[in-house]
Structure 1
């Protein structure tokens, strides 16, 4: 894929973190560098910054890495752009702040809790599944439980902690563990 990005001078890519990790590993191993790349957005599972990802973005100083967060019920609701030199990026970057038109609440807020989302990007429920809709959505404003545990940092950005319901994210897919 990096060769295709280099040949076609692709400037933006959207990938799950597992694909970014693999492509960063290939960059380190084979030296393939997509020089025109300016923006990489990841979503679908927690982003872990590896040494290879740091090296990739260290070699691409004009490129920015965007960590997008959103459950299946909304897609991207919260986002964070990593800034500064990649060597200073945290191993587990925050998921960020709500996008315009979205709000996020941490319930309970004090030490961290489940993320509730409200806004224009949120679904109004599940098709043909009123029970699940009743469990996950509430009010006329359409507020939805993301099923994810987060905590708010002192700067207001949200950090992903894990799932509230035992589901796992495997290569970007939500799987119910039983």
Structure 2
């Protein structure tokens, strides 16, 4: 990696241990922890990883990239106070138009942005639980639903359970994401 100048990590949570190893071995490389669902381009937030980070904790998502707004809202779409958990919403130029041929899902996840001041502006309900630190950086806390990410793919256990119970001879099903070996979710 000696020839690299800047590494943007995304798709999965950046392991603090891996980030520390990279920073220790290559202190001149700029390392950014990127966050952003597909519905809002590649990244919506980024956090420049530095030696000041606490590598014993999950790395923060950071702050919004240019032309992006990050809102942490309660169930009634009110901003929550600093330090309080809420659902992360993303607004700005990178928000997609919606899901192809999925109007119901589009209406559920892409909602009017009351904070933008721009007519017709929308924001994306990420389903991610987050909170804002006093310094303004955003921390990822998990999901508000049962969705899990495995090797970069979004998995909905409820959808798999529904498919399994539709099979002859299957009355009940439970789907769990397991991580018997740290970092190897299945």
Q: TM-score of the superposition, structure 2-length normalised?
A: 0.72
For the aligned residue pairs, the C-alpha RMSD in angstroms reads 1.6
Q: Measure the CA separation in 1 of the matches of 2:155 and 2:147.
A: 5
Map of 1:49 onto structure 2: 16
Contact 1:66 1:80 in 2 (8 A): yes
The alpha-carbon deviation at position 55 of structure 1 amounts to: 2.7
Is the Cα contact below 8 Å between 1:48 and 1:91 reproduced in 2? no
Corresponding residue SS for 2:99: coil
- In structure 1, the residue matched to 2:98 is 125
Specify every segment of 5 or more residues in structure 2 that has no aligned partner in the other structure, as ranges: 75-79, 113-119, 159-186
Question: Does the alignment pair 1:93 with 2:59?
Answer: yes
2:91 and 2:56 mapped to 1: Cα distance? Answer: 28
Number of aligned positions between the proteins: 143
Q: Using the alignment, how far apart are the partners of 1:163 and 1:156 within structure 2?
A: 20
Equivalent of residue 121 in structure 2, options 125, 141, 161: 141
Larger RCO: Structure 1 or Structure 2 (Cα < 8 Å, ≥ 6 residues apart)? 1
CA displacement, residues 37-58 of structure 1 (integer Å, 9 cap, x when unaligned): 22211111222211x5423321
Contact 1:46 1:160 in 2 (8 A): no
Which of 41, 47, 69 lines up with 1:103 in the alignment?
A: 69
Other structure's SS at 1:54 match: helix
Larger Rg: 2
DSSP 3-state at the match of 2:16: coil
Residues 58 and 85 in structure 1, CA contact (< 8 A), matched pair in contact too:
no
Alignment of 1:157-168 (within 5 A): 157-168=137-148
CA contact (8 A) 2:9 2:33 kept: yes
Q: How far does residue 90 in structure 1 lie from its aligned partner after superposition?
A: 4.7
Contact 2:23 2:51 in 1 (8 A): no
TM-score by length of structure 1 reads 0.75
Find the aligned partners of 2:39 and 2:135 in 1 and give their Cα distance. 26
- More helix as a share of residues: 1
